[in-house]
Chains A and B, each alone.
Chain A
Amino acid sequence: MGSVVRSAVKAIKEKGFGSFLRELRDEGYLTALLDGNLMQTKIHNIGATLVGVDKFGNKYYEKLGDTQYGRHRWVEYAAKDRYNASQVPPEWHGWLHFITDHTGDELLLLKPTRYGLEHKENLSGEGDQYIYHSKGHSLNPGQRDWTRYQPWQPTKA
C-alpha cells in the first residue's frame, strides 16, 4: 500500500495536481468508488504484471504466485462506465481464458489479412437499433403494420 501512496505523491509532484486528478478520472479511480467491481480490479492490479494492451485500450494483467490459480489473468476494460466481456478481441480471448499461453499481441500476427474481420463488441441492449423485435411487435418500426394475410383488393376488379 505504501508504494501506491508513494507513487501517487510522485505523480502529483511531476505533473501537477490538476493533471493528476484528470488522470485519476480517466483511469476510472473515481468511478471505482461507486463501482465495486472496478475497485476490486484496481486493487487486484497492485503488484500484477501488465502483459499487454489491445487496440481498444483494454489492459491485460497477470499475477502469479500468491493469486489463486485460475484467477491469475484478468482484464481491465478501457471503458470504465459500461464494460462487458464482448469487448475483448478474439486474439486476447484465448490468453484470457487460459486456452493458450500466447498473448494477444503474438496471436495478432497470425490474423489473416484477407478475410480477418475487425472485432466489434456486442451491442445488444444498447439502443433500439440493436434489438430484434419480431414482426408485429409494437416496437418493430418496419413491421408495425404487419398482417398475417394479404386480403384480396376489390378495386382491382
Chain B
Amino acid sequence: MLGRLAAQRFREIRQVFRQIPQAPRVFSTALNYHLDTPDNNPDLPWGFTEANKAKVKEILSHYPSNYKQSGVIPLLDLAQQQHGGWLTVSAMNEVARIIEVAPIRVYEVATFYSMFNRTKVGKYHLLVCGTTPCMLRGSRDIEDALLKHLGVKRNEVTKDGLFSVGEMECMGCCVNAPMITVADYSNGSEGYAYNYYEDVTPKRVVEIVEALRRGEKPPRGTQNPKRINSGPEGGNTTLLGEPKAPPCRDLDAC
C-alpha cells in the first residue's frame, strides 16, 4: 500500500521534473567554434573552380563595387555546393578574401544560417521538416525510419559517405506534409539539386533513399499517387460543376 503510494508520488515528482534534462535542440550541424581537423583547417588551400569563378563574377556584378560584402550568402552557397555540401574554414577565408572583409564577418554569417553546413554531410543530405504541421503528420516517424534505415544518428554521415540526415524548419509545404528535402551534392555545383519529396511515408522515404543509392532520380513533388501537386486526394471535391454566373438582379422584374 505504502509502496504503491510512494511509487505514485515518485511518478508525480518525475512528471514535474521531466521537462528539465532535455538538451536544447541543435539545428546547425556544428559547434560555434572551429576545431582543426585534417580535412578542415585554415592551412588547406581552397579555391573556386574555373567555372565557378565566372559565377562568382556574375554574383558580384549584382552588387555595387563598394558593397561587395552583400554577396556573402550567394558566395557561401556556391562554395558549399562546390565543396560537397559543407564549408571548410579555408572556403570561408576564400569568400572573405573575395568580398574584402575580415574572415570573422564571414564566419558570423556561416554560423548564423543553419543551411550552411560546417561539418561534413553526405552526397545526399536529407532534411526532414520538423515544424508543427509536418510533425503532426508524422515527421518524427519519418526521421526515425530514415535514421534506422541508414544506421546513423542525426547529422551523421553514413560510412559510404552517401547520406546524412538533418532537420529543417518549415519549408512551406505544409499542405503536403510531411515532407523531406534532398540536397544533392553528388555532382558538384553544376548538378546541384534541391528537391522536395512531399506526402512521404516511412516506407516511401526508404524507397527514395534506395533509389538515390542506385543513382536514380525519383520524381520529386508529392509521393501520394492520388494527389496532383497540392490538390486534394482523389481529385477535386468542391467546385466540380460549371461555375455559376454571378447573381444579378432581374431588372425587368421590378
Contact = CB atoms under 8 A, between A and B. Distances in A.
Interface of A: 102, 106-107, 109-110
Interface of B: 6, 9-10, 13-14, 17
A146 to B, nearest CB: 40
B15 to A, nearest CB: 12
Identify the 6 closest CB pairs spanning chains A and B, nearest first. A102-B13, A106-B13, A110-B17, A106-B10, A109-B10, A106-B9
B10 to A, nearest CB: 6
Contacts of B9: 102, 106
B72 to A, nearest CB: 41
Given A106-B9, A110-B13, A110-B14, 9 more contacts: A102-B9, A102-B13, A106-B6, A106-B10, A106-B13, A107-B13, A109-B10, A109-B13, A110-B17
Nearest to A112: B21
B90 to A, nearest CB: 38
A60 to B, nearest CB: 16
Contacts of A110: 13-14, 17
Contacts of A106: 6, 9-10, 13
B139 to A, nearest CB: 31
Nearest to B16: A102
A109 B10 CA distance: 8
Nearest to A103: B9
Contacts of B13: 102, 106-107, 109-110
B104 to A, nearest CB: 34
Contacts of A102: 9, 13
A102 B17 CA distance: 12
A91 to B, nearest CB: 12
A107 B13 CA distance: 8
Nearest to B21: A112
Contacts of B17: 110
A80 B17 CA distance: 36
Nearest to B17: A110
Nearest to A110: B17
B3 to A, nearest CB: 13
B212 to A, nearest CB: 40
Nearest to B6: A106
A110 B19 CA distance: 13
A109 B17 CA distance: 11
Contacts of B10: 106, 109
Nearest to A105: B6
A102 B6 CA distance: 11
12 contacts: A102-B9, A102-B13, A106-B6, A106-B9, A106-B10, A106-B13, A107-B13, A109-B10, A109-B13, A110-B13, A110-B14, A110-B17
Contacts of A107: 13
A102 B8 CA distance: 12
Contacts of A109: 10, 13
A109 B13 CA distance: 10
